[in-house]
């Protein structure tokens, strides 16, 4: 049965955030809110959680997992970014965008696209997510909480608790969150390619 954490949306309680992060460090898989709907999150090197996410979402090995980062200093440790791409990303973050970029050796191989050796990265504009990242001190391995054969991602903590009670270890609820997945921009070729239109305005990358 999943634990349920009620977090204040504007002033996340440090003690509650600490309990969530403790669970993540112990190998837990959590459903947590972002500025672009809920996501499934775990510690970056957690192989079991990676497999559990694949199972919950029925994902193939071609799926791009995302590293949710606190800031650019953290993001720069895990992906290779040239100056032009850096400026393009900097202009819209934090925000509802995921960027696909070549990964550095800091990223576990199991997270990478098998052929491209790329990974998704993003910096969210959400206080609870930022509080979790600050306490954790490293990126969260993440994937949008979009269930198989459903067009809309889950956005309500209570519903996630009901539906995923026995497949996740915790649900974090901090009120309203985004209702659309991120806009995904693939920079792996050096040029921007919008591969999913979502909450972030895609026009600047088209």
* pLDDT by 10s per residue, the chain, length 206: 999 999 999 999 999 999 999 999 999 999 999 999 999 999 999 999 999 999 999 998 888 899 999 999 999 999 999 999 999 999 999 999 999 999 999 999 888 888 889 999 999 999 999 999 999 999 999 999 999 989 888 889 999 999 999 999 999 999 888 889 999 999 998 899 999 999 999 999 98
| The listed CATH number (3.20.20.100, 2.40.10.10, 3.90.870.10, 1.10.3720.10) that belongs to domain 3-205 | 3.90.870.10
Q: Where are the domains of the chain?
A: 3-205
Phi, psi for residue 63 in degrees, rounded to 5: -70, 135
Q: What is the DSSP letter of 35?
A: B
The model's pTM is 0.95
37-43 and 30-34 as β-strands: parallel, antiparallel, unpaired?
A: antiparallel
* 117-140: pLDDT as tens digits: 999 999 999 999 999 999 999 999
């Amino acid at each position: 049965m999943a634990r349920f954490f009620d977090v204040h949306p504007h002033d996340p309680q440090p003690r509650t955030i600490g309990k969530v992060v403790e669970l993540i460090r112990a190998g837990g898989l959590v459903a947590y809110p972002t500025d672009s709907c809920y996501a499934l999150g775990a510690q970056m090197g957690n192989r079991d959680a990676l497999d559990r996410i694949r199972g919950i979402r029925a994902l193939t090995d071609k799926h791009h997992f995302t590293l949710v980062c606190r800031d650019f200093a953290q993001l720069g440790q895990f992906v290779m970014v040239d100056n032009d791409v850096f400026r393009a990303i900097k202009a819209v973050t934090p925000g509802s965008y995921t960027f696909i970029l070549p990964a550095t050796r800091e990223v576990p191989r199991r997270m990478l696209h098998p052929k491209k050796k790329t990974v998704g990265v993003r910096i969210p504009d959400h206080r609870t997510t930022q509080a979790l990242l600050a306490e954790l001190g490293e990126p969260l391995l993440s994937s949008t909480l979009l269930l198989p054969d459903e067009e809309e991602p889950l956005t309500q903590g209570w519903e996630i608790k009901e539906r995923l009670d026995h497949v996740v270890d915790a649900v974090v609820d901090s009120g309203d969150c985004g209702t659309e997945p991120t806009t995904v921009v693939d920079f792996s070729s050096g040029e921007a390619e919008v591969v999913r239109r979502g909450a972030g305005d895609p026009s600047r990358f088209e």
